[in-house]
Homo-oligomer: A and B are copies of this chain.
């Protein structure tokens, strides 16, 4: 284990050796192993948007094995997916890459700002996962319920040596659409995930918008002009850097924008990316090339 990873693990003061071992597995895996950086492949698009919108642009991606193999071949840190997706390759790829079982899921037809809990800690254990994943919607009228669900699941996960990854996506309630990506909102959402006991926090890259009137004063001397500075603020909001924070790539977009995001995350002190549609919706060769370049950015090689 590298000193960098050891230093990260030391910040998880309350965890049992089992949970630390699983965090270490993700931090020591693949081409970024030992650097303290992570790139995670998440494939929950099938739930979110359905199979055709997710995979028809790259037909081999209909097969769950495709994603396991992509994550392995690209040298990523972990692969995250809902129950059925992991079940379909759990044996073939056992031990080849750490997996994160996403325990709740939304879909395109949902009319409420909530998700269904579609997996359990017992599922994560029998599938050999390293962590559970869970989405909360701060701001939603269902946030209290979601917070109570992850309280129970995370306590159970910690008791059996699994790590907890929280996707913290502000939405609903009185938040404006622009507000969902606002800097103050994103930092608050990340902080709440940390308070809920997450080991790894996943948020979206924030804009320089400040949503909350009451927060204007706190930000009036803050320089939010670059994405890297905004990333640094989110990281600081996660216990001053005591928690791993990764950022999502968002909707599929041009590769230059993807690389610039990675540089900003790196320069702001973020721990890496969760990047899904931008990879599996490209041909495999292009995806591998893109992931290679992202990894080199995180390794400071470009």
A131: CB under 8 A from chain B? no
Establish whether residues B139 and A46, one from each chain, have CB atoms under 8 Å apart when the complex forms.
no
Contact partner of A51 (CB less than 8 A), chosen from B57, B145, B198, B237, is: B237
Complex contacts, A114 vs chain B, CB 8 Å: 144
Cα A127 to Cα B143 in complex, Å, equals 25
Q: In whole Å, how far is A226's beta carbon from the nearest beta carbon of chain B? A: 17
Contact stretch, chosen from A186-194, A254-262, A272-280: A186-194
Cα A139 to Cα B233 in complex, Å, equals 38
| Tally of contact residues, A, Cβ under 8 A | 87
Establish whether residues A52 and B184, one from each chain, have CB atoms under 8 Å apart when the complex forms.
yes
Complex contacts, A243 vs chain B, CB 8 Å: 84, 88
Q: A51-B191, A89-B13, A90-B14 are in contact. Are A196 and B84 (CB under 8 A)?
A: yes
A177: CB under 8 A from chain B? no
Cα A14 to Cα B91 in complex, Å, equals 6
Establish whether residues B52 and A151, one from each chain, have CB atoms under 8 Å apart when the complex forms.
no
A244: CB under 8 A from chain B? no
Q: A51-B188, A62-B240 are in contact. Are A109 and B143 (CB under 8 A)?
A: yes
Establish whether residues B107 and A138, one from each chain, have CB atoms under 8 Å apart when the complex forms.
yes
A208: CB under 8 A from chain B? no
Establish whether residues B117 and A151, one from each chain, have CB atoms under 8 Å apart when the complex forms.
yes
Contact stretch, chosen from A28-36, A69-77, A118-126, A283-291: A118-126
Establish whether residues A84 and B50, one from each chain, have CB atoms under 8 Å apart when the complex forms.
no
Interface residues of A in 52-94 (CB under 8 A from B): 52-53, 56-57, 62-64, 82-92
A174: CB under 8 A from chain B? yes
The chain B residue sitting closest to A193, CB to CB, is B84
Most buried by B among A14, A123, A127, A215: A14
Q: List 22 A-B contacts (CB under 8 A).
A: A13-B90, A14-B90, A14-B127, A50-B191, A51-B236, A52-B218, A52-B222, A53-B217, A85-B239, A105-B147, A107-B143, A109-B139, A115-B144, A116-B144, A116-B147, A116-B148, A116-B151, A118-B151, A120-B151, A120-B152, A122-B159, A123-B197
